[in-house]
């Protein structure tokens, strides 16, 4: 069975999912926030999604084998969600086709809109959105003779490849006036330089495949400087920073150091985003804050970027007739429906609809930007145009 749990997500993996078509069988896709309703005794959420999926199947003309495959997929979902709850992800995505012995599970760092989708190919748009928000870091730990390349993404670390070179050891002074020593040192330095170029070539190949957005370098300062010297200019431009980690450091130490660096990078980004938002609100009205104003911009298709306080969620209401979203329970102003349906996670719904319209999403978690966004209602938007 092609069964895999994905830790470090790449564009290649998402593209492979996007193009996977196990004809004549169908693919079952699950997205579920395992720390939300499900974690608080809401197995009914998953059961409701499964019921709705079965109802949709009843309206489709499927062969016995197709229907049997989907039923096996649906039966496997509770097991997948139960396993996901013991891991570190906030949410889980799963892609199954029992008829083709196919199962892919992805742990996700943020809540997603709960859904089960049955189709000819996996439903991957939420994954593509997360790829855009979370850069993929290629970590290069290097010394004079060894290197380790690792991937860090969405809180996970994965070893990729080791690079080693045969570099002679340094020698003590020898020969007339140290002449032999200097000659040997030049020979050693040549080996070291070739090692750095070998590592740089491996980095170029991985980044050239467009799987990684930024580089993080680590190791002795002399070696990091030597590697940077031989990196081509395009790679030097995407170096996010350096970490004090030895080449042989365990994966958890590598991840801890990288997360500390990324936290500093994100703090700078968060400050810049909040300044951009406040300037837009004050200067030309191309920024709005709070749920009510954000929903108004969403209905107009005006949102280019959504700022969400990390972990912020609030309930709301949706019109069952036209899908109108509102923070309050009232008669639908769009179609007149009087029985609005409660939406337990309105922020997640807004994120989902905004990304459908091509908006970027940023989760703001660092101080003082997070506190300021909290004061503004926990959600805000940058707009494509001013709302009149």
pTM: 0.74
pLDDT for res 33: 85
User: Starting at the edge strand that comes first in sequence, how are the strands of the sheet with 316-318 ordered?
Assistant: 325-326, 316-318, 341-343
- Of 64, 98, 132, the one marking the end of a domain is 132
Is residue 258 in some structural domain?
no
CATH code (residue 69): 3.30.960.10
pLDDT for res 113: 83
- Token pair, residue 120, equals 């000819």
Is residue 98 in some structural domain?
yes
199 and 307 share a domain?
Answer: no
242 and 320 share a domain?
Answer: no
Q: Quick check: 72 pLDDT over 60?
A: yes
What is the distance between the alpha carbons of residues 69 and 23, in angstroms, rounded to a whole number? Answer: 12
Q: What number is the average pLDDT over the span 130-144?
A: 86
126 and 153 share a domain?
Answer: no
Q: What number is the average pLDDT over the span 63-90?
A: 82
Contact, 298 vs 326, CB < 8 A?
A: no
The total number of structural domains that make up the chain: 3
209 and 328 share a domain?
Answer: no
6 and 127 share a domain?
Answer: yes
Share of the chain above pLDDT 90, in %: 47
What is the distance between the alpha carbons of residues 175 and 184, in angstroms, rounded to a whole number? Answer: 11
What is the distance between the alpha carbons of residues 278 and 82, in angstroms, rounded to a whole number? Answer: 42
pLDDT for res 302: 95
- Of 99, 132, 165, the one marking the end of a domain is 132
234 and 293 share a domain?
Answer: no
Report the sign of the C-alpha dihedral through residues 324, 330, 336, 340, in that order: positive
pLDDT for res 134: 79
The C-alpha angle with vertex 75 and arms to 72 and 79, in degrees rounded to 5, equals 125
Mutual angle of helices 346-356 and 125-133, in 10-degree steps: 90
- Of 71, 99, 132, the one marking the end of a domain is 132
Is residue 260 in some structural domain?
no
The lowest-confidence range among 88-97, 139-148, 239-248 is 88-97
116 and 227 share a domain?
Answer: no
Is residue 259 in some structural domain?
no
pLDDT for res 81: 83
222 and 168 share a domain?
Answer: yes
Could you report the per-residue pLDDT of 220-266, keeping only the tens digit for each? 999 999 999 999 999 999 999 999 999 999 988 998 999 899 889 99
pLDDT for res 35: 73
pLDDT for res 159: 87
The lowest-confidence range among 96-105, 163-172, 315-324 is 163-172
pLDDT for res 170: 60
123 and 144 share a domain?
Answer: no
Could you report the per-residue pLDDT of 319-376, keeping only the tens digit for each? 988 889 999 888 888 888 778 888 888 998 999 899 888 899 999 999 999 999 999 9
199 and 296 share a domain?
Answer: no
Structural domain of residue 245, as residue ranges?
137-249
238 and 300 share a domain?
Answer: no
Range with top average pLDDT, 163-177, 186-200, 224-238, 269-283: 269-283
Is residue 388 in some structural domain?
no
The secondary structure of the chain, three-state, reads CEEEEECCCCHHHHHHHHHCCCCCCCEEEEEEECCCCCCCCCHHHHHHHHHHHHHHHHCCCCCHHHHHHHHHHHHHHHHHHHHHCCCCCCEEEEEEEHHHCEEEEEEECCCCCCEEEEECCCCCHHHHHHHHHCCCEEEEEECCCEEEEEEEECCEEEEEEEEECCCCCCCCCCCHHHHHHHHHHHHHHHHHHHHHHHHHHHHHHHHHCCCCCEEEEECCHHHHHHHHHHCCHHHHCCEEEEECCCCCCCHHHHHHHHHHHHHHHHHHHHHHHHHHHHHHHHHCCCEEECHHHHHHHHHCCCEEEEEEECCCCCCEEECCCCCCEECCCCCCCCCCCCCCEEECCHHHHHHHHHHHCCCEEEEECCCCHHHHHHHCCCEEEEECCCCC
Q: Quick check: 315 pLDDT over 80?
A: yes
Instruction: From 361, 342, 364, 365, select the one nearest 352 (Cα to Cα).
Output: 361
């Amino acid at each position: 069975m092609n069964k895999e749990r994905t830790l470090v997500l790449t564009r290649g993996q998402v593209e492979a999912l996007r193009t996977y078509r196990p004809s004549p069988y169908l693919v079952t896709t699950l997205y579920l926030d395992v720390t939300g309703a499900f974690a608080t005794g809401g197995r009914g959420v998953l059961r409701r999604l499964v019921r709705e999926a079965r109802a949709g199947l009843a309206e489709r003309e499927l062969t016995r084998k197709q229907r049997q495959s989907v039923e096996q997929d649906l039966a496997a979902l509770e097991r997948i969600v139960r396993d996901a709850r013991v891991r570190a992800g906030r949410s889980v995505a799963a892609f199954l086709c029992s008829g083709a012995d196919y199962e892919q599970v992805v742990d996700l760092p943020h809540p997603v809109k709960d859904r089960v989708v049955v189709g000819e190919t996996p439903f991957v748009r939420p994954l593509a959105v997360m790829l855009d928000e979370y850069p993929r870091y290629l970590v290069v730990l290097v010394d004079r003779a060894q290197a380790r390349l690792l991937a860090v993404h969405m809180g996970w670390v994965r070893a990729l490849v080791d690079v080693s070179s045969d570099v002679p050891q340094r020698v003590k002074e020898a020969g007339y006036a140290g002449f032999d020593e200097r000659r040997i040192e030049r020979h050693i330095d040549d080996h070291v330089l070739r090692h750095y170029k070998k590592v740089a070539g491996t980095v170029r190949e991985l980044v050239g495949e467009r799987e990684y957005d930024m580089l993080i370098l680590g190791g002795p300062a002399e070696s990091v400087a030597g590697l940077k010297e031989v990196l081509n200019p395009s790679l030097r431009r995407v170096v996010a920073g350096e970490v004090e980690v030895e080449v042989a450091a365990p994966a958890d130490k590598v991840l801890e150091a990288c997360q500390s660096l990324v936290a500093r990078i994100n703090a700078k980004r968060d400050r810049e985003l909040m300044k951009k938002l406040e300037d837009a609100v004050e200067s030309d009205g191309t920024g709005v804050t709070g749920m009510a104003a954000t929903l108004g911009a969403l209905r107009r298709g005006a949102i280019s970027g959504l700022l969400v306080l990390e972990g912020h969620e609030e309930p709301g209401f949706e019109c069952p007739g036209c899908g109108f979203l509102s923070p309050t329970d009232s008669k639908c102003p769009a179609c007149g429906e009087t029985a609005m349906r409660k939406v337990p996670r309105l922020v997640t719904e807004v994120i989902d609809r905004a990304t459908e319209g091509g908006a970027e999403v940023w989760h703001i978690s660092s101080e003082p930007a997070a506190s300021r966004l909290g004061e503004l209602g926990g959600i805000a938007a940058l707009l494509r145009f001013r709302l009149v």
